[in-house]
Amino acid sequence: MTEDSFNSTDSSTDRNANTDARADGGRYLSVDEIPETAPVADRTWSERIADAVPSKRRGLKYVIAITIALLWIVPFIGLVMASIRPLSEIIGGWWHLEGMTITFENYYQAWNHSTAPMGQALRNTFIVTIPAVLVVMLLGVMAAYPFARFEFPLKRTLFFLILLVMAAPPELVAMGNYNALREFGLFDTYMGLILVHIGWGLGWVVLFLRNYLLGIPKELEEAARIDGASRYQIFRTIILPLSTPALVSVAVIQFTWVWNAFFFPLVFMRSPELYLAPQALPLMRGRVQVEWGLIAAGSIMTMAVPVILFLLLERYYKRGMVAAVAD
């Protein structure tokens, strides 16, 4: 029997001829009758296209989904267009495509702007964001582990307190933080801003990582205890490596949050040379007319960083998110 003709006429007559002689009535195929590959359905092109066309209901869903996606992305396309065209062309509306000139002049000017140099502002933002993210990850997992595994007095109360703090609006906390930073002489310093971001981030990070750690089987730690590992060794060699997806998720979310934060830098940073990117953007507006091109280019540069980070870490990020919210 040939491979590709499972349902062709000559093979079926073969089979019928066989069954007559067999006691099992042809219900079972002998091994040599089983084809190497799955039978190929021979359908014409028109049949395939007809099968692929969605039903009306499904088609309607697609239309709605695509519309929402377009609405969502249109402002972003406008931003990109504005950033790569001269101001004279943008004024008439970015959607006019005739006589379009592509230039990176806006990016160059924004990077070296006199009152709000984007290059400096982005560097400043990195200086604040990287420690604020790394410290939150480390402290967060160290705080989450006991909440996930150990029994200690006031465990539930403490955890409830953490959740409670998360519910407070930043505007409310800012007042107290402002006074505290002044007292400690940390006002208008990156150290002060980083500390505020760490404190603010720890709440959700502990909650998120605790949920993730609860999903790591207890047996792994028990096995490690039997194997002779100390608590610290277990944490470092078992818990930390296994938390990588969750830690990546935390890093991405915290990075985006700190990077894009406008309110905290606005309140706690006074010196213009220390300004962070989100603070610097509004300063590029210009005196006489609004410099749309510069603002657009600055915005693109600012948002590019978290987007690139997300794209690089997307695979881990997804795994971490799924595991932390599942069960």
Partner 1 sequence: MGESALRVWYMTAISMDGVSKYFDAGNTVANYQLNLEVEDGEFLVILGPSGCGKTTALRLIAGLEQPSEGAIYFDDERVDGRSPSERNVAMVFQNYALYPHMTVAQNIGYPLKVRGVSPDDRDQKVATVTELLHIEDQVDKKPAALSGGQRQRVALARAIVREPSVFLLDEPLSNLDAKLRQEMRIELKRLQNELAITTVYVTHNQEEAMSMADTVVVMNRGTIQQIAPPQELYKRPRTAWVARFIGSPPMNLFRGTRRNGSIDLGEAGTVELPGKIDADEAVVETAGQDDASTASVVANSARDDVAVGVRPEDLTVSTTRPSSGNVIEGRVETVEPMGEYILLNVFVNDQIVNAKLSEWTVEKDERVYLTFDDDDAYLYDDGGELVA
The residues that touch partner 1, with contacts defined as CB under 8 A, are: 217, 219-220, 222-230, 233, 237-238, 241-242
Residue closer to partner 1 (CB basis): 243 or 256: 243
Place of tokens 């933080």: 177
Identify the helix (H) or strand (E) that includes residue 63: helix 56-83
Q: CB nearer to partner 1: give 33 or 222.
A: 222
Instruction: Decide whether 139 or 242 has the Cβ nearer to partner 1.
Output: 242
Please name the amino acid found at residue 215.
G
Q: Which amino acid is at 323?
A: A
66 versus 223: smaller Cβ distance to partner 1: 223
Closest CA to 57 of 65, 49, 48: 65
**CA distance linking residue 127 with residue 80, whole number of Å:** 27
DSSP 8-state assignment for residue 282: G
Which two structure tokens, joined as six digits, stand for 43?
Answer: 């359908």
CB distance 25 to 19 below 8 Å: yes
User: Exposed, middle or buried, 240 (CB in 10 Å: 0-12/13-18/19+)?
Assistant: middle
Q: Is 43 or 315 the residue whose CB approaches partner 1 more closely? A: 315
Smallest gap from residue 229 Cβ to partner 1 (A): 4
CB of 232 to partner 1, least distance (A): 10
Contact indicator for 18, 50 with CB cutoff of 8 Å? no
Identify the three-state secondary structure at position 182.
Answer: helix
DSSP 33: G
Cα–Cα dist 113/294, whole Å: 9
**Least separation in angstroms between CB 231 and partner 1:** 10
Residue 110 or 224 having the CB closest to partner 1: 224
